[in-house]
Amino acid sequence: MKISENWLRERVAIDADEATLVERLNMIGHEVESIERVGEGLAGIVVAEIVECAKHPEADRLQVCRVDAGGGEMLQIVCGAPNARPGLKAPLARIGAQVGELTIKAAKLRGVESSGMLCSAKELALDADASGLLELPADAPVGKALADYLGLPDSVIDLGLTPNRADCLSIVGVANDVGAAFGTAPKLLTVESVAPATSRHIDVNLLAPVDCPRYCGRFIDGIDMAATSPLWMTERLRRCGLRSISLLVDVTNYVMLELGQPLHAFDADTLHGPIGVRRARAGEKLKLLDEREIELDPEFLLITDADAPVALGGVMGGYSTRVTTTTKNVFLEAAHFAPPAIAGRARKLGMQTDAAHRFERGVDAELPRRALERAVKLIVDAAGGKAGPIIEAVSPEHLPRRSAIHLRRARIGRLLGIEVADGDVERILSALGLAFEKTSDGWSATPPSPRFDLAIEVDLIEEIARIHGYEKIPTQAPRGELAVPRLREDRVDVAALRSQLAARGYNEAVTYAFVGADLLKAWDLDARAIPLANPLSADMAVMRTSLLPGLLNALLVNRNRQQERVRLFEAGKVFFSAAGTGEAPVEVARIAGVVVGSAAAEQWGAKKRRADFFDVKGDVESLLALTQVPAEFHFEAAAESWLHPGQSARLHRGEHVVGHVGALHPERARALGVEEDVYVFELDVAEIQSRPVPRAQPVSRFPSVRRDIAVVVPEAVSFAQIEACVRAAAGEGLAELLVFDQYSGENLGFGVKSLAIGLILQNSYRTLTDADADKTVAEAVAALTAECQAKLRG
């Protein structure tokens, strides 16, 4: 809901700047979603009157105007606005004024001097209308500063109200809350009554008193429909997000914004009576103001005339009884509709109206008469007419009642954790409009009629906390504190392993911890398997000793459902029987993955290829990198019975076996019904969790040096051996080691291969010289020659 700050301050006088007001609105639960400042930068812009207009001698669309700028000063202004005419009052930007990014200067337009600029609303950033000059009322004082005349500058505050605070869907409602928060009594809105000048009457029948327990109306005869809305009203509507349409529409919108009561105006000459309020009958149709014809059902509430539908209660008026430019007599409606009768009806029709928005949240049942008086006074003052008496039909037993709520002093302290003085409690209750009496243990408080949200004791305690100030409630840990485990920096958390694999395109799977004995036997993983005493079925007869059989079954299910690319992982426990008699079974945490299909998701930017051993090895290495010491790990060629003998490796950390990675054995893949390569890995979590405590190291400010060497080594020598050898020889001066080429062929001879290696050297305290680099390379080559039977190529 958008509100004008100036309008709000007119209803409640507070000694606080805008920032303090916004902070307090947020603290009392009315979230400020945005603030838009209006009317800034209007210095040098005054109210002026066009005295004469003459056609420009050199331009058909321009006029030369003589303009009264006040104080007897006449200015010549060249203007191209289509509505420029003698007698019109409009904003004038004098020489030196700033209009947007334009500074007004004396100028010649097509040879005619112009001493200022007549402005549109858009040019002044007051509205989006750029069709012509901003027309001011005929009684606007010539020469007065426009900002003073329009009550500018102002701020439009957009409040994000919670659904339970329907009472704040009005300026008066927000002012009451702001006054309570600042300890200032809001100014009471004086609503002047208009004495009846006619006796015109119409009968009203409440045929659905549960849905509409109060219906009020009033005739106004002889209205001048040519009358326009006063500028102060259209300005307030505009700043609250509503455009001016006509006097009657503007007045009903204004009263709704001011008091919170929606109203509707009928053309009185289209009504024959009696007016009725009832539920719709199945199949009834009604043409609405937006010219849509809708078919109704008994969920909808109707306003009827002689039992014929003329309006959709609480939502929108009907087309046949609409007010037009030829309307002379008006019947103004103000009713109270129960929220359950309106809630969701507008949305069911694919619309949302301001009236429905308010009625479905709850409007004060005591407002209709007051809102009618206010609206009639505004209409008669602006457009004349004779008002009839207020017509009211009411079903007292169906009106909402406010029951007293028992508020206990001890309960306040228990829920808020602080003691609020009795005087403060009573001040808050009084400021919020609650009538209360003291009791032995607290108070008995009755909410005011607009506060539908106050029903039980905790509602009142929330109000006390809100107005007393949440910032005054100390932050305390709740009793029964839980011991929060300390996160160890010397271990890689399993969640980090999960996140890493998810980031590399894997989906996490959760498989059963029970598998079939035959399945484990087929994988050669049945050693030390723990059988269940009472298995649910033969397929769940033993505890798993590996995560891979279950993951492969999950992969197969996905493949059978047309999933060409599958990447799954699981982090869970495997189980082994005790190594010795009397010992407990062993649980081992592991993380495993399976991959089949293309290396990357289908795309146009890269050539499609199948995933291979090195893709999965790279995924495993990304897990090892989390330890900060990937150099502690190395791969060795190995052939488990369930892995491909030429595409598999065993992972070591020092002397300990950490896990396995490789392609699934072709026979195992065929047994699963998969005709392409399947790659798997499984690691012991405990073996890859330990890491050194991270310590910050300065980044060397000295440049690095790169040296490339190519060595010929026996085919059986792995790069892991070469890397370990070079790192040991080069020492701390080696920042990075990489392989950028591999070659084997007839030119080298049988049983050997050539590796091209890049050594990145860097020192943290000085710049390395060529001699330093050459010495390090020589030491590395010597070590390779001695330990790996390497020879420099070339």
The stretch 461-480 carries a mean pLDDT of: 85
**Res 646: pLDDT:** 84
The stretch 385-391 carries a mean pLDDT of: 95
**Res 479: pLDDT:** 67
**Res 501: pLDDT:** 95
To the nearest whole percent, how much of the chain has pLDDT over 90?
68
DSSP secondary structure code for residue 269 in this structure: G
Question: Is 540 a residue whose pLDDT tops 80?
Answer: yes
**Res 698: pLDDT:** 81
Q: Which residues are CB-contacts of 680 (< 8 A; sequence separation ≥ 6)?
A: 548, 551, 552, 592, 593, 594, 595, 616, 643, 660, 661, 662, 663, 664
Question: Is 579 a residue whose pLDDT tops 80?
Answer: no
**Res 697: pLDDT:** 79
**Res 215: pLDDT:** 97
**Res 724: pLDDT:** 86
Q: Where does 704-773 show beta strands of DSSP type E?
A: 705-714, 734-743, 752-761
**pLDDT tens column, 670-708:** 888 888 899 999 999 999 999 888 788 788 889 999 999
The domains of the chain, with CATH numbers, are 2-39+155-182 (3.30.56.10), 45-152 (2.40.50.140), 204-398 (3.50.40.10), 405-468 (3.30.56.10), 494-689 (3.30.930.10), 705-792 (3.30.70.380)
**pLDDT tens column, 232-283:** 999 999 999 998 899 999 999 999 999 999 999 999 999 998 999 999 999 9
Residue 347 Cα to chain centre, angstroms: 22
To the nearest whole percent, how much of the chain has pLDDT over 70?
99
For the chain, how big is the Rg over CA atoms in Å?
42
Question: Is 169 a residue whose pLDDT tops 80?
Answer: yes
The stretch 491-495 carries a mean pLDDT of: 91
**Res 582: pLDDT:** 67
The stretch 296-304 carries a mean pLDDT of: 94
Element (H, E) at 780: helix 770-788
**Res 562: pLDDT:** 86
Mean pLDDT value across the chain: 91
CA distance 723 to 6: 75
Question: Is 609 a residue whose pLDDT tops 80?
Answer: yes
Cβ atoms within 10 Å of 479's Cβ, excluding its own = 5
CA distance 165 to 253: 19
**Res 682: pLDDT:** 95
Question: Is 569 a residue whose pLDDT tops 90?
Answer: yes
**Res 489: pLDDT:** 84
**Res 32: pLDDT:** 94
pLDDT category at 746 given cuts 50, 70, 90 is confident
Question: Is 478 a residue whose pLDDT tops 80?
Answer: no
User: In one letter, which amino acid is 264?
Assistant: H
**pLDDT tens column, 543-560:** 999 999 999 999 999 988
Question: Is 765 a residue whose pLDDT tops 90?
Answer: no
Which contacts of 83-86 are long-range, i.e. CB under 8 A and separated by 24 or more positions? 83/131, 83/132, 83/133, 83/135, 84/50, 84/53, 84/118, 84/132, 84/133, 85/50, 85/53, 86/50, 86/51, 86/52, 86/53
